[in-house]
Amino acid sequence: MAIKPNESDTFLREVDEELRKERMNRLFARYGWLIIAGVLLLLAAIGGVIWWKHHQRELAAGQGETLLEALATMDAGNRDAAAPKVAELAGSDIEGYRAAALFARATAEAEAGNQAAAVATLKSIAEDAQLAEPYRQAALVRQTTLEFDQLQPQAVIQRLGPLARPGQAWFGTAGELVGIAHLKMRRPDLAGPLFAQIGRDQTVPPSIRTRAIQMAGSLGINAMPEQAASGAEPQAPADSAATKGEAE
């Protein structure tokens, strides 16, 4: 008896299905243990990631409490009691806590009168490539502030010049130090406009802006914000060229 076309198609599909099942059985018999091991490893990896994240959260919470305790102890005037907690956090893998601990250590050293140690701590922060740029810049500014009286004016300008520009986070403080360094070098023609820029910059803290406006005014430049709104450019003091020539 001849097989009808539709029966032939059904027969061929059944044969193909059996062949696929046979191939799958052979593959599983040969590689099944590898597949199971792979699934177990994947589940273990997922579980490990979940545990690690939970552990990191717990660790961060614990270090946060340690930092608060250390700062409170320092505020109470007991730097020696805070030192072990600060030392513990200074080796933290969490960037923010490590930076905060190192800044706290520098502050404690400076308050204890150990300026050399404070400068060394701040320098280590500024040169730590593992820390974010804002931390490093803050450390550089504080380090320069502590060392300012011992540094040559040109060294201050070279160190803080890139930060003493509008738009930089530390423009006010760095610009003020650079402006004073210009004055030490008898360059009021450079110091005056810089103080004026600081005085007109609304992002600079008010205390720094006030000092900058006063300094610019003493150099013959009106740095009040009203002048900035009118678009007037700051003018160097009349005797700046003569002063410059005297310096040369």
Residue 64 has pLDDT above 60, yes or no: yes
* Residue 227 forms part of a structural domain: yes
Over residues 59-86, mean pLDDT:
65
Strands (E), 79-211: none
Residues 187 and 165 in one domain: yes
Residues 189 and 143 in one domain: no
Q: Output the pLDDT for position 144.
A: 96
Residues 138 and 171 in one domain: no
Residues 209 and 190 in one domain: yes
* DSSP per-residue letters across 64-93: HHHHHHHHHHHHTT-HHHHHHHHHHHHT-S
If one counts the domains in the chain, the total is 2
Residue 188 has pLDDT above 70, yes or no: yes
| 83 vs 247, higher pLDDT | 83
Over residues 189-238, the pLDDT tens digits come to 999 999 999 999 999 999 999 999 999 999 999 888 664 444 444 444 44
Residues 209 and 180 in one domain: yes
Q: What is the mean pLDDT of the chain?
A: 77
Residues 127 and 141 in one domain: yes
Q: Output the pLDDT for position 84.
A: 73
With bands split at pLDDT 50, 70 and 90, how would you rate the model's confidence at 38? low
Residues 94 and 178 in one domain: no
> Helix, strand, coil: what percent of the chain each, to 5?
80, 0, 20
Domain hosting residue 195, numbered range: 151-248
With bands split at pLDDT 50, 70 and 90, how would you rate the model's confidence at 24? low
Total residue length of the chain: 248
**Of the given ranges (2-6, 89-93, 118-122), which has the lowest mean pLDDT?**
2-6
Between CA 194 and CA 190 the distance in angstroms is: 7
Residues 119 and 134 in one domain: yes
Does the pTM exceed 0.75?
Answer: no
| 175 vs 109, higher pLDDT | 175
Q: Output the pLDDT for position 232.
A: 45
Percent of the chain with pLDDT over 70: 56
Over residues 100-154, the pLDDT tens digits come to 888 888 888 888 889 999 999 999 999 988 888 999 999 999 999 999 999 999 9
